[in-house]
Amino acid sequence: MKAAEIVGLLAEPERLRVLSALVLGARSASAVATATGLGAREVGRALQRLQAGGLVDGSLAVRVEVIKDAAIAAAPPGGADPDVADEVVGRFVRDGRLLSMPAHDTKRRQVLEFLVQSFEPGRRFPEREVDAVLRAWTEGGGVDHVTVRRYLVDHGLLAREGGDYWRIGGWVDVSA
């Protein structure tokens, strides 16, 4: 299965909610309905599609290996060049502080992908927590935490809704 196919399967909010409930431990259609607030018919259709697509097996377990394999196959050849990324980040981050933000978009993206590693994937953070983490990075530097937060959202690395933020981008090690 290709990464684009997985994204297509999860593009419908109902299927994404059902898969999330399964990841969090629901093991029956009724448990999924309770966890998601969806009706039995919606849950049934979503489960059928996820199973037909190969993301969920007959016992309603998520086939994580399918997702990992697709992520590995979709990665750039040889992955990101860690030497180049480390060199770029090293110019802008020293002693745990963000000194300034690169003007060049590609370099800015590398620095932002480094910074977003401070946020655990799959967890929602209230704005005050995001600000506290980013203040620690920006204290004494040439850029403020609000600007960094805005860049993280604009670059698709953090999402926000109702005062909560969560990580939606950046590299995650799926080989472990």
pLDDT in tens, 97-140: 999 999 999 999 999 999 998 998 889 999 999 999 999 999 98
Structure tokens at 120: 């655990």
Extract the tokens encoding 159.
């999402």
| 8, 76 contact by CB (below 8 A) | no
pLDDT at 31 exceeding the cut of 60: yes
CB–CB of 118/133 below 8 Å?
Answer: yes
What CATH number does the domain located at 3-74 have? 1.10.10.10
Residue 154 CA: distances (Å) to CA of 20, 72, 75: 25, 25, 22
* Cα-Cα end-to-end distance for the chain: 20
- How far is residue 111's CA from residue 89's CA, in Å, rounded to a whole number? 5
In 2-62, the DSSP E strands lie at none
**How, if at all, do strands 124-126 and 158-161 pair?**
unpaired
Q: According to the model, what pLDDT value does residue 79 have?
A: 45
Query: What confidence tens digit (pLDDT) does each residue in 39-95 have?
Result: 999 999 999 999 999 999 999 999 988 888 887 777 654 444 445 568 889 899 988
Note the pLDDT of residue 32. 96
Predicted model pTM: 0.53
Phi-psi region at 63: left, alpha or beta (left = phi > 0; alpha = psi -120 to 50): beta
**Residue bearing the bigger pLDDT, 157 or 70:** 157
State CA 98 to chain mean position distance: 22
Cβ contact 31:46 at 8 Å: no
Topology of the domain covering 82-167: Arc Repressor Mutant, subunit A (1.10.10)
In this predicted structure, what is the pLDDT of residue 173? 64
Question: Where does the chain hold its CATH 1.10.10.10 domain(s)?
Answer: 3-74
Residue 176, pLDDT above cutoff 60: no
